[in-house]
Structure 1
């Protein structure tokens, strides 16, 4: 029996670790051929080798590197079915602390990186058949709520949230057969979250199965499961939305 994305070609940015690695593993387990991209090329190759995919160097802020990656995908695979714009960073600074350089860095990685991925990926994703091609952008609950200590990250994720809706409507209006949605994770136990929470170098926590209490961290697989649904033909009628994967964080009243 085939998987939920059997035979599809998928590209994941920031696929060497954390959420991106979990995305690559699940997509491959469900039948996709995965292209793992990251600036950490050696680690990307390890992930690709483990899932039977390909690895390519990609700095998502580089327009020329995006073009090179897509040229290689077109030559090797003839097109692309799934694009997961996952690569990201975060620096904890409020609006008074944040430098212009750090603000631009967040916009370059998140907003420009997602823009390049979509702009140059769309020509490879048109008319792929089945339930269509799927773009999944990584937003954040920071785009839905107010966090005073991450002004640049919040602005960048808010840009992704808004851009996702515009791209979805453009592709639909043009009849491309490409859906574009976003995921807004809450706190997920990843190397990035571990490091910024003062636990750098420690082993990642094991997140138990089953329902989790309020304010607990989620596991990368929680986000990957939502990504898989959006990537699969099961979500053919889902377009232009942002799905919070946050254990109810956005829904809970805060006083």
Structure 2
């Protein structure tokens, strides 16, 4: 299953949270229940779409970032569950930049219509064609073992990533 949702409504956080995070959780739980080998299913793979915003913090869209970070932690937590081997269901996350389709193009069009300029600062590093997203998806789904994989899709390459705890000291701000 490819679980994808992308709503950006900072002025209506419940809309963003319901679609981006709860939609992902409910979709994953329903698919997992049907796929589980230990409950009569055949196993399977679930790839949840996050975003570059799930790997970084963007000050202009904090609710969107929170939901995409949530997709990441939810999915990786599912992949680390002790019974994951018994279920036969694997979980992975895809982190694209701004895909040149749908939500991102609508943001640009809306801003141009209202103010004569794009709604977001165009950043070629973040912009990826839809074909790059498909390449990343295919890379994940064809891995021999996919469970727990996190793949960032950039305009030029696919990068497997991992989040790690980094201790900066016992005081804040840390002394340099």
- TM-score normalized with structure 2 length: 0.72
Matched, 1:138 2:56: no
Please report how far the alpha carbon of residue 140 of structure 1 lies from its aligned counterpart in structure 2 after TM superposition: 0.7
Matched, 1:218 2:136: no
Deviations 1:148-194 (A, max 9, x none): 11111100000000000111122754511111001011021103211
Aligned partners of 2:155, 2:62: CA distance in 1, in Å?
A: 23
Q: Show the 5 A alignment for 1:162-173.
A: 162-170=73-81, 172-173=83-84
Alignment CA distance shift 1:199-1:106 (3 Å): closer
Matched, 1:154 2:65: yes
Please report how far the alpha carbon of residue 120 of structure 1 lies from its aligned counterpart in structure 2 after TM superposition: 1.4
- Is residue 140–residue 149 contact of structure 2 (8 Å, CA) maintained in 1? no
Gaps in structure 1 of 5+ consecutive residues: 1-82, 203-212
Please report how far the alpha carbon of residue 86 of structure 1 lies from its aligned counterpart in structure 2 after TM superposition: 0.7
Matched, 1:120 2:120: no
Alignment CA distance shift 1:106-1:171 (3 Å): farther
Query: Which among 88, 93, 112 is matched to residue 6 of structure 2?
Result: 88
- TM-score normalized with structure 1 length: 0.51
Greater shift, 172-181 or 107-116, is seen at: 172-181
Query: Which among 192, 199, 203 is matched to residue 103 of structure 2?
Result: 192
Alignment partner, residue 148 of structure 2: 240
3-state DSSP of counterpart to 2:128: coil
Gaps in structure 2 of 5+ consecutive residues: 114-122, 160-176
Matched length: 146
Deviations 1:211-230 (A, max 9, x none): xx952621112112211232
Matched, 1:108 2:26: no
3-state DSSP of counterpart to 2:45: strand
Aligned partners of 2:82, 2:134: CA distance in 1, in Å?
A: 24
